[in-house]
Structure 1
Amino acid sequence: MKIYISVFFFFLISVFHISAQNRWGIIGGANLSTSSAKDFGWRTGGYIGGLYDIRLSESWYIQPQLLYSYEENSTKDNSHIDIFYSQHALTLPVLASFKVPLSDAFSLRINVGPYIQYALFGRNGRSSIDMNGEVIPKKLGWWHADFGDHFTYGLKGGLALEHRHLFLSMDCKYSLKKSFLNYDGHGTTLSVGIGYKF
């Protein structure tokens, strides 16, 4: 019986020691997004969310994140027709993170991993040309899609500069799935953010 109690207490001490090295965090910032579809330019947006930093060793971490983001895509094609899509989305990246110490107070993180994204809602619109060749301005409406078309997935990578609990991050996200929200192209999003780990 004493052996079982000793093993149980050793297990509890180990669990509390490991969880004490893990950290919750918050992050927010701005992003630029575009589509691989023809003639699409970069548009601004933003994001906010949380993360959980799971320490595996002195240098390796796993970092799941849950982010709420706003992204836009817009273009003018050769017919001068303006096309616009926007989306409010939830993104779940799970990143492998490698920590490089720079000094006692600073470190660099190299992050890479897959993500899945669910588009909650958004707007779309398209200008048209009347019979006289005049451009009729676009009217924005709410887009509608089948449940499966709300999902995209891809890869995310980036760097983060940490100073104790505070960090700055630069990331790139690329969708491997073509989506109607990217005008049947692949989406690319560059982001810069600031965060804090508790």
Structure 2
Amino acid sequence: MKKVFLMALLINPIISIAQSSFSVKAGAQTTGIANAQIGDNQNRFGFYIGGFYNLQMKNGFSFQPELIYSYEQFNNVNISTIEYFGGIENSENTQPRFDEYYKMNLIKLPFLLKYQPTKFYVELGPQIAYLISIKGKIEDKFNKLPTKEGKLEAINNLQFSIAFGGGYQLNEKLDVSLRADLGLTKFSEYTYIKNFNISAGVSYKL
């Protein structure tokens, strides 16, 4: 009986390895501001590329950690002077005046629980993103202040979000997916901005 138990312990990791797989993925995405507190959100397009490891469990469930490079852009437009600087409200400074533009490079690490009872699947989990770089530009619509552009300082390099989505397995190698992630972390202690991201792409099993 002990020998049977020991053999089962030895075989179990082999089965797990046989049911695991590596895949690469790429796609397009759009990024914006969730619940913009000042100004208006304006989504812009970007792209992502990366890969993931899928570890099969029981009853259609699997664990899927991913490593993704993501290029994202978004705008915060029609910001009034009173919103941007604060102060006393009047007819002039409540008019839309400033537009802000952002470009980001990130490394993302989603840790997803995937459920696939058929060719369709759903997935959900936390995501950590490391901000490699971010550039911003501020434009004054009234041309009373010079345009400011360059690298932004005092930014939280670690961003946390919740990722969820689903997809369809086209064949043994290829599937298509749609995913959203909602930011939980502000860029810095001095800003209100949190992002949401919607992506669509394909993955190929190696």
Alignment-derived partner of residue 113 in structure 1: 125
Alignment-derived partner of residue 46 in structure 2: 45
- Asked if 1:134 corresponds to 2:148, the answer is no
* Residue 161 (structure 1) aligned to one of 168, 171, 178: 168
Shift of 1:43: 0.4
Q: Distance in 1 between matches of 2:23 and 2:196?
A: 25
Alignment-derived partner of residue 152 in structure 2: 143
The letter for the 2-side match of 1:156 is A
Q: Distance in 2 between matches of 1:166 and 1:119?
A: 30
Alignment TM-score, normalising by the size of structure 1? 0.84
Q: Distance in 2 between matches of 1:81 and 1:142?
A: 18
- State the 4+ residue runs in structure 1 displaced beyond 3 angstroms: 6-12, 135-139
Q: Distance in 2 between matches of 1:135 and 1:24?
A: 54
> How much identity, in percent, do the aligned residues show?
24
Quick check: 1:81–1:135 contact (8 Å CA) kept in 2?
A: no
Alignment TM-score, normalising by the size of structure 2? 0.81
Which range moved further: 16-25 or 136-145? 136-145
Q: Distance in 1 between matches of 2:144 and 2:180?
A: 35
Unpaired runs of 5+ in structure 2?
81-95
Secondary structure in structure 1 of the residue aligned to 2:17 = helix
Cα deviation, 1:32-62, whole Å, max 9, x if unaligned, reads: 0001223011100010111010111141111
Instruction: Supply the RMSD in Å over aligned alpha carbons.
Output: 2.3
- Asked if 1:75 corresponds to 2:76, the answer is yes
Shift of 1:11: 3.4
Secondary structure in structure 2 of the residue aligned to 1:100 = coil
Q: Distance in 2 between matches of 1:137 and 1:195?
A: 44
Shift of 1:28: 0.6
Q: Distance in 2 between matches of 1:168 and 1:138?
A: 41
